[in-house]
Amino acid sequence: MPIVRTDPRSPVAVGDYFTSLKGTRIMEYELVRSRRKTAVLHIDPAGRLMVKAPLNMPLYVIEGFIEEKRDWIEKTAARMQAAQENRRARLGEKPSELPLWGEMVPVVHTPPYGYADGAFSLPEDMTLGEALPYINRLYRSIAKRVLIPRTWELAEKYGFSVSDVKISSAETRWGSCSGKKSINLSWKLVLAAPHLADYVIIHELCHTRFMDHSPRFWAEVEKYIPDYKQCREALKNVECIMQNE
């Protein structure tokens, strides 16, 4: 049975889910505690709030943190919910264009179906939702054809030692590098402009020399991508496209 507290400074707790009663507006959130040092907020595509907090952080401190960030939370949640509703609507429509390499590419309906000559060709009667599995396979094929050779090219150009390059289906990261110098790149990088894809590749190549995000690592990245900070910001816009596809 839920534990109900009448003190407005406390939450109503249901397992790990809480309803903040602080202030005049109710806000539901999920609380996840772990061995971390600070509290962070995360809002999923449906607009639900998750708070990740240290194991021993008092609840009133967490509530104060939420209240401090309330305006940002509400604006971000509303934007995420609107994006999800827009995505649902788009999934029921027939696509006229699709994102690729930072641009919108036209969709035609001439067999054979696939991607060629700067256009996607899909059956005319398919909605985006129906075509999405096939489109994602096309994206993955394009990623293998372009990103893997590009990684080897940049590794040779700048003298990086790499053992393997693969395309992954990672949902939360653009790329990764293992201790054995094997690089994985998300196929969703095909949605980004070519110079942003190069930034991610260089980022992972630099991890073959520095397996952390220390000042030495970022100095290494900056040697090859002087505007890497702008690239990181630009990738956030691509993440919005990813959430809508």
The domains of the chain, with CATH numbers, are 12-89 (no CATH), 140-244 (3.30.2010.10)
- Measured distance CA(51)–CA(32) in Å, rounded: 6
* Measured CA distances, 135 to 49, 114, 197, 235 (Å): 31, 8, 19, 21
Res 2 pLDDT > 70: no
Q: What confidence score (pLDDT) does residue 204 get?
A: 98
Model confidence at 80, in pLDDT bands (50, 70, 90)? Answer: confident
Q: For the segment 236-245, what is each residue's pLDDT rounded down to a tens digit?
A: 888 766 655 5
Residue 79 has pLDDT above 90, yes or no: no
> Are residues 83 and 69 in contact, defined by beta-carbon separation less than 8 angstroms?
no
Q: pLDDT tens digits for 83-139?
A: 888 878 878 899 999 999 999 999 999 999 999 989 999 999 999 999 999 999 999
Q: What is the pLDDT of residue 83?
A: 80
What pLDDT score was predicted for residue 201?
Answer: 98
- The amino acid present at 21, given as its one-letter code, is L
Q: Is the pLDDT of residue 6 over 90?
A: no
Output the pLDDT for position 25.
56
Question: Could you report the per-residue pLDDT of 27-70, keeping only the tens digit for each?
Answer: 788 899 999 999 999 988 788 899 999 999 998 899 899 989 99
Count H helices and E strands in the chain, helices first: 6, 12
pLDDT average, residue stretch 223-238: 93
**H or E stretch including 15?**
none
Q: Which residue has the higher pLDDT, 21 or 135?
A: 135
Asked if residue 3 has pLDDT above 60, the reply is: no
